[in-house]
Amino acid sequence: MHSTLEMIISIFERAALLLIILFFLTKIKGFKEILQKENHSVRELSVLTVVFCSFAIFGTYSGIEVEGSLVNIRTVAIFSGGILFGPWVGIITGIVSGLHRYLIDIDGITSLPCLITSVTAGFASGFINRKVKKHRWWYIGIGAGILSQTLTMLLIIALGEPRSQGISIVEQIAVPMMIGEISIGLLILLVHNIEGEKKQIAAAQAKLALDIANKTLPYFRSITPASLQRICQIIKEEIDADAVAITDTKTVVAYYGLGAERYQDTSSIVSEMTKQAINSGQIVIRNEVDDHHLPQMHCLLIVPFQEGDEVTGALKIYYEKENRITDSLQTLGIGLAQIISNLMEISRIEQIKETANKAELKALQSKINPHFLFNSLNAIASTTRRDPNRARELIHNLSGYLRYNLELHDEMIAIEEELKQVRDYVEIEKSRFGDKLQIIYDIDPVQIKVPSLLLQPLVENAIHHGVRKRKWQGAVYLSVKAREKDIRISIRDTGVGIDPEIVEKLYKDEASVKNIGLANVHQRVRLIYGKGLTINRLDPGTEIYFDIPVKEGK
């Protein structure tokens, strides 16, 4: 004769045993993956069915006998199997374990009720699996278990012969059996935890991939072997690999980590394995390599990356130790390869654009106006007779001007260099227009760099579209003024005044070819200093200025 408390404890002991077995099963890699999956193959379902049938039959055998009945945890196994893995597992487990219970003791007083409730439990568990939301499984499972035990008890009373014995049995076993059903909840939660663990790993990996993307982003701006190597270094450190490499379709373009000395020469040919990955577009995983040309590496993952449909290279991850390429690393590798190929593609497009812009700009900036050149030479020819010394100076001015235009220079140049070119230019123009043209400089001694070939077009504009259009004398004022927070460069003339339509179009970036010089200056100033030219119509004339911000402490 067992007390109720003893029976409750024993039933939990058995349930605990199931939990322990299940827990150990989760430590088996293959089985854990089955538990973590959402959809299962027939084979996997068969494995699960066998496991839960064993649990249920174990439940029957480990039952505590009470007047010919068994206090057991069979339905715990049926319910948890069915709820967790669906009707097939639940129903088969229910039928098999129910029949088993019936057949081992056909004449037993509770055998038939047990068969009926086992099969019912199988169907009920499948129903819960299909119709109830996952997060509610555990307590719905407990409830359903208790209900099924209630059904068992009613059946024992209804079918048990003699009835008095049935009632006696129910009195003793009802409470422990029902309380024992709590274990269904525990089993379900255990498996849910394993699934949660998988989600956490996935989340951690997504975060890692994002971190790597963030850290490597700056190096994709301009792709060079050095920047690619830095990218490899970041990946290596983040994923704790022994080496990381990036290849194009033929050569290893960057390598960082163990064995790097072999790749000092940047034109190393890719390995056969990489070729295979690039040619097939498929990932290559080798967990036990002993034939690689890096003898210390025993484990490698090669993920080819694509731009459009074309494989353009591969990301390679190396480990010294064997069996380091796990499923999660593989997923991460694919993600990283995708990020790398996307960023490389974007960077390439940007670079092409930039180069095109630069070339276009350069051509535009340094284009020498043929009118200016031939008119200058004509003026010099004339001056030669009147004043050979002046002519000589003018030739120097013209040479200086041409040299500045023709020689390639950096985008930014010291302002005195730029002003020297303006002076050369102005001297020549003065020789052409004589007294008609006056240039007044008001230059503060500032030490700054300015975009090259910026001032001369503005002065040219002031002379030819301002002063020259008027019959009488005109002046151009060029000033560089150091102000509190910036330096203002202004070009003012007393000419005809700019057409407001031109200004409007310029501000809208719709300038016509005729005003392309001015538009080009406007765009460059805006690009470099954030704000373009400010153009004011004066009476008479035009004022054009822009401000160069000066950094604190300079």
Binding site for other proteins (CB under 8 A): 370-371, 373-375, 377-383, 385-386, 431-434, 436, 468-471
Measured from the CB atom, is 283 or 373 closer to other proteins?
A: 373
Measured from the CB atom, is 122 or 466 closer to other proteins?
A: 466
Measured from the CB atom, is 374 or 441 closer to other proteins?
A: 374
CB 83, CB 68: distance < 8 Å: no
CB 206, CB 99: distance < 8 Å: no
The distance of closest approach from Cβ of residue 454 to other proteins in the complex, given in angstroms and rounded to an integer, is: 25
Measured from the CB atom, is 179 or 373 closer to other proteins?
A: 373
User: Could you give the maximum distance between any two Cα atoms of the chain, in Å?
Assistant: 145
Measured from the CB atom, is 56 or 394 closer to other proteins?
A: 394
Report the Cα 270 to chain-centroid distance in Å.
Answer: 27
The distance of closest approach from Cβ of residue 426 to other proteins in the complex, given in angstroms and rounded to an integer, is: 15
C-alpha–C-alpha distance, residues 170 and 163, integer Å: 10
CB 258, CB 243: distance < 8 Å: yes
Q: Which residues are within 8 A (CB) of 318 and not within 5 positions of it... i.e. 6 or more apart?
A: 241, 242, 243, 244, 245, 257, 258, 259, 294, 297, 299, 300
The distance of closest approach from Cβ of residue 444 to other proteins in the complex, given in angstroms and rounded to an integer, is: 33
What φ, ψ does residue 25 adopt, rounded to 5°?
-60, -35
Measured from the CB atom, is 99 or 368 closer to other proteins?
A: 368
Measured from the CB atom, is 387 or 444 closer to other proteins?
A: 387
* 506 half-sphere exposure, CB direction, 13 A CA radius: 26
The distance of closest approach from Cβ of residue 464 to other proteins in the complex, given in angstroms and rounded to an integer, is: 8
Measured from the CB atom, is 236 or 468 closer to other proteins?
A: 468
Measured from the CB atom, is 391 or 548 closer to other proteins?
A: 391
CB 252, CB 268: distance < 8 Å: yes
* H-type alpha helices, 266-326: 272-280
529 sits in which H/E element: helix 516-529
Looking only at the bridges linking them, the beta strands covering 299-307 and 412-414 are unpaired
Amino acid at 395: I
The distance of closest approach from Cβ of residue 537 to other proteins in the complex, given in angstroms and rounded to an integer, is: 19
CA dihedral (171, 174, 180, 181) in degrees, to 10, reads -170
The closest of 122, 111, 121 to 159, measured between CA atoms, is 111
The distance of closest approach from Cβ of residue 432 to other proteins in the complex, given in angstroms and rounded to an integer, is: 5
What is the CB neighbour count within 10 angstroms for residue 310? 8
3-state SS, residue 548: strand
Measured from the CB atom, is 99 or 381 closer to other proteins?
A: 381
The distance of closest approach from Cβ of residue 467 to other proteins in the complex, given in angstroms and rounded to an integer, is: 9
The distance of closest approach from Cβ of residue 375 to other proteins in the complex, given in angstroms and rounded to an integer, is: 5
The distance of closest approach from Cβ of residue 404 to other proteins in the complex, given in angstroms and rounded to an integer, is: 21
C-alpha–C-alpha distance, residues 129 and 79, integer Å: 10
Q: Please state at what angle helix 500-507 crosses helix 516-529, rounded to 10 degrees.
A: 40
The distance of closest approach from Cβ of residue 374 to other proteins in the complex, given in angstroms and rounded to an integer, is: 3
Report the Cα 373 to chain-centroid distance in Å.
Answer: 54
